[in-house]
């Protein structure tokens, strides 16, 4: 197990787990990210799991809403990775895990899907860039998880404890990707077929 676990939040007082070290973090703020990297200077594993969804449509929503989702879902993990890669290197190497979504592979969430697809591509690129620097990279794909982000969704949801266990198994085994539930496995398999297999409205 980990010798120390840092848990980040905009308000560190909201971190209540007795074994976690709270760290203030706003993932879209470069100064906040830099401060977190200084405070957590002994990190060897970075897990990027922040996410934001405002239901933005490419055509009908304010462009600011689209940018907000990309700032959190794409640029946030990028800022953190850039800040923590030197930390992990100094500590002898380690692991990066980015939490994606099944919506990385199927465009049912407007700009949220696009931001997660961009993160998937970022993860794949980082895996190649970091290979020679002693940092392994895993992408975690999952459907709905029983968290605040999915509170308004009426659909089956995974237990976050089960997802966390799968993520840690993926880190331990050095998996490139972890497909954490049936829907993620089904949708990824569907990428090899015709688009109409993923999007019923395209079927003729």
Q: What gap in Å lies between CA 73 and CA 103, rounded to an integer?
A: 12
What would the 3-class secondary structure string for 23-90 be?
EECCCCCHHHHHHHHHHCCCCCEEEECCCCCCCCCCCCCCHHHHHHHHHHHHHHHHHHHHHHHHHHHH
- For the chain, which ranges sit under pLDDT 50? none
Please answer whether residues 27 and 70 qualify as being in contact, where contact means their C-beta atoms are separated by less than 8 angstroms: no
* Residue-level pLDDT at 150: 59
Q: How far apart are the first and last CA of the chain?
A: 52
113-166 pLDDT tens trace: 999 999 999 999 999 999 999 999 999 999 876 666 656 666 667 788 888 899
Residue for token digits 């990428």?
Answer: 191
* Residue-level pLDDT at 151: 61
Catalytic residue numbers, as ranges: 112
Q: What gap in Å lies between CA 192 and CA 204, rounded to an integer?
A: 19
Q: What percent of the chain has pLDDT over 70?
A: 93
* Residue-level pLDDT at 57: 93
* Residue-level pLDDT at 153: 64
Q: What is the DSSP letter of 145?
A: B
Please answer whether residues 9 and 22 qualify as being in contact, where contact means their C-beta atoms are separated by less than 8 angstroms: yes
Q: Work out the number of other CB atoms within 10 angstroms of the CB of residue 48.
A: 23
Q: Which domains are assigned to the chain? A: 5-202 (3.40.50.720)
* Residue-level pLDDT at 8: 96
* Residue-level pLDDT at 108: 86
């Amino acid at each position: 197990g980990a010798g120390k676990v840092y848990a980040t939040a905009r308000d560190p007082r909201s971190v209540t787990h007795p074994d976690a070290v709270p760290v203030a973090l706003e993932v879209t703020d470069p100064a906040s990210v830099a401060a977190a990297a200084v405070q957590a200077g002994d990190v060897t594993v970075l897990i990027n799991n922040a996410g934001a969804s405002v239901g933005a449509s490419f055509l009908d929503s304010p462009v600011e809403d689209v940018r907000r989702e990309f700032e959190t879902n794409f640029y946030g993990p990028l800022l953190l990775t850039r800040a923590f890669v030197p930390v992990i290197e100094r500590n002898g190497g380690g692991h990066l895990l980015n939490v994606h979504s099944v919506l990385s592979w199927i465009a049912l969430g407007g700009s949220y899907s696009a931001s997660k697809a961009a993160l998937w591509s970022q993860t794949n690129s980082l895996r190649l860039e970091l290979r020679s620097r002693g940092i392994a990279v895993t992408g975690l794909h999952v459907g709905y998880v029983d968290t605040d982000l999915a509170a308004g969704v009426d659909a089956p949801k995974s237990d976050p404890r089960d997802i966390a266990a799968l993520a840690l198994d993926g880190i331990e085994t050095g998996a490139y990707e972890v497909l954490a539930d049936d829907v993620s496995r089904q949708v990824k398999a569907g990428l090899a077929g015709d688009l109409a297999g993923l999007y019923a409205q395209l079927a003729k």
